[in-house]
Amino acid sequence: MSTNLPISSNTTGLSGPVAAEEVFDRVVGAVREWQETVAVEATKQRAIAAEEARWLAAIEADREILLTYLDRSFDERAESFRRLFEELDRAMSGDTTHVADVLGAITALAMKSPFQDLKDVDTVTANLHDPNYGW
Amino acid sequence: MPLPLVVAAGGLAVAAVSGVAAGVDGVRRSRDASGRVSRAKKHVVSAASRAESAWAEADRHVRAYGDLQLHVQVDTLGAWASWLEENERKVRDFEGHLVDGVAIPPFDLPELKLQVIEAERMLSGGVSAGIAGVLARQAALTGVHSLASAGTGTAISGLSGAAAKSATLAWLGGGSVAAGGSGVAVGTIMLHGIAVAPALLTFGLGLNVQGHRAQTRAREFEKESRIEVARLKSQRLLIERLEVRVEELELVLHGLDERASEALDELQQVEFDPAGHVELFMRVALLIEGLREILATRVVDEAGVLTPESEQVVIIHRTSTASTTEAPT
């Protein structure tokens, strides 16, 4: 490729037109590389954003399920303990069997931690949707 | 001026202006990338700090619960052991009997006394490391502290990765421009004696490419930081629930201790007659039995690690901090 640019010879010994052609090729190459890189980087950034969104959604969904489960469990258990202690107070003036039963229920409930059920999110989700699930 | 020269001059002018514009945009993008990395790091540090505070608070709470455990052992179990010792002969007659169909709990007086002595030693600071029971209860007092370090360690480890990446990204703000391929291109062009315009364009495009790449790396860093922040938030909220669990055990222990102490007071005030006070005796024995079961329910194990039940907190955290190389589908 030739050009009319009045480029003189330089110390490298390349003639003007040859140097101009080389420069032109370099410029075209640089523009092409720039276009490709910008497109590639834009694609990468979109992929990163999508991956981030998936991770954040998954973490937040898991968190929501687990915390809902724990909060509901602790609320139900607090109410159960309240009722059991009331029952224990009534039983204290009654027969020993009832005292033993209520105490057994209190200790069994206390020893079973809600965290024991957090084996996996699927189980927790299933429990949350089970109206008959015992907390 | 001949037309080709006019066209060439116009082209060179456009190239020069475009090059400058691309270069300015590239520098802006690189600065934007540096700013993003800096902000992302601050968010992670802040989230890690909040999680660390939650661990510290949980630690204080578990220590307080451990203290309550020791006082219950010394005061209530101690009083019960003394009463049993005083009335051992009469009580032995009960062994193996049923009251209202309920078996009388076995009285292992030596073990009970040992438990009280251990608790007294712990409260006075003289801990015998050879006694497993003491170690277990000591763990209940101090275990969460090591967990706090572990929790923070995870965050810090995340930060280390972030810091490493930040170091990698540090060059993006300008260093890369100075050392980048565009400089070489400019040198080559100038060597050939060509006008400045194409050199400016090539240099500008080089800067621009660097800027786009810097933004991609910054975006990757932002992604990992945001995921880490989300995990730390999950961790902090789960730690808060662990505290609720401790509060629950506290409430049950306190409730049983209160009733056991009252019943024991009543028993201590009578001249014990096995035939006449068997039901009162059974109430105390059952309450003490329940109390000991709650005392044996620990939040942390001997090694200072969360017990299997509460270990789920750690498991969940670990699951969610697994490598992000494979995103969830």
Bridge partners, residue B99, by sequence = B102
CB pair distance less than 8 Å for B286 and A78: no
CB pair distance less than 8 Å for A96 and B244: no
CB atoms within 10 A of CB B12: 18
Q: Which of B201, B234, B290 sits opposite A103 (nearest CB)?
A: B290
User: Cα angle at A18 between A28 and A26, to 5 degrees?
Assistant: 20
pLDDT band with cut points at 50, 70 and 90 for residue B160: very low
Q: Which of B100, B215, B244 sits opposite A95 (nearest CB)?
A: B100
CB pair distance less than 8 Å for A14 and B255: no
Q: How far is CA B82 from the centre of its chain?
A: 43
Q: Are A16 and A5 in contact (CB under 8 A)?
A: yes
| Dihedral in degrees, nearest 10, Cα atoms A60, B240, A80, B265 | 170
Is some CB atom of chain A closer than 8 A to the CB atom of B101? yes
Is some CB atom of chain B closer than 8 A to the CB atom of A79? no
Higher pLDDT, residue B61 or A5 = B61
Q: How far, CA to CA in Å, does B8 sit from each of A27, B169, B183, B296?
A: 14, 40, 24, 90
Which of B209, B317, B318 is the best mutation test for A, with the most CBs of A within 10 A?
B209
A128: distance to nearest CA of chain B, Å? 17
Phi, psi dihedral angles at B96 (to 5 degrees) = 85, -5
Q: Which two tokens stand for residue A65?
A: 């399920």
Q: What is the largest CA-CA distance in chain A?
A: 116
pLDDT (mean) for B294-314 = 56
Mean pLDDT of chain B: 72
Handedness of CA B129, B127, B120, B123 (dihedral sign): negative
The answer for B 28-87 residues in CB contact with A (under 8 A) is: none
Q: What number is the ipTM of this complex?
A: 0.78
Q: Are B173 and B31 in contact (CB under 8 A)?
A: yes
Q: How far, CA to CA in Å, does B279 sit from each of B77, B78, B91?
A: 19, 21, 13
Q: Are B208 and B26 in contact (CB under 8 A)?
A: yes
Which residues have CB under 8 Å from B298's CB, separation 6+?
Answer: B136, B137, B139, B140, B307
What pLDDT score does B137 carry? 38
pLDDT tens column, B53-83: 888 888 778 778 888 888 999 999 999 999 9
What pLDDT score does A21 carry? 78
Amino acid letter, residue B242: L
Q: Report the run of H or E that residue B95 belongs to, with start and end.
A: none
Which one of A70-79, A112-121, B116-125 scores highest in mean pLDDT?
Answer: A70-79
Phi, psi dihedral angles at B150 (to 5 degrees) = -65, -45
In three-state secondary structure terms, A131 is coil
Q: Evaluate if residue B155 carries a pLDDT over 90.
A: no
Q: Which of A57-66, B168-177, B318-327 shows the lowest mean pLDDT across its residues?
A: B168-177
Task: Give the whole-number percent of chain B exceeding pLDDT 90.
Answer: 34
Residue A13 φ/ψ region, left for φ over 0, alpha for ψ in the -120 to 50 degree band, beta for the rest: left
CA distance A3 to A16: 9
Is some CB atom of chain B closer than 8 A to the CB atom of A18? no
Q: Evaluate if residue A130 carries a pLDDT over 50.
A: yes
A-B contacts (CB, under 8 Å): 195
Sole residue written with tokens 């959604």:
A57
If we measure between CA atoms, which residue out of B187, B8, B201, B203 comes closest to residue A7? B8
Burial-class residue B136 by CB neighbours within 10 Å (0-12, 13-18, 19+): middle
pLDDT tens column, A90-123: 998 888 889 999 999 999 999 888 877 776 666 7
Q: What residue spans of chain B are helical by DSSP H?
A: 3-72, 78-86, 88-92, 109-124, 132-170, 175-179, 181-191, 196-269, 278-296, 311-320
Which of A35, A52, A82, A120 is the best mutation test for B, with the most CBs of B within 10 A?
A52
Higher pLDDT, residue B183 or B142 = B183
Higher pLDDT, residue B187 or B28 = B28
Q: Evaluate if residue B293 carries a pLDDT over 80.
A: yes
CA distance A42 to B216: 8
Amino acid letter, residue B275: A
Q: Are A64 and A124 in contact (CB under 8 A)?
A: no
Q: Chain A partners of B188 at a C-beta cutoff of 8 Å?
A: 26
CA distance B67 to B74: 11
What pLDDT score does B88 carry? 86
* Minimum CA–CA partner of A53 in chain B: B223
What pLDDT score does B134 carry? 37
> pTM of this prediction?
0.71
Sole residue written with tokens 């699930």:
A133
CA distance B68 to B60: 12
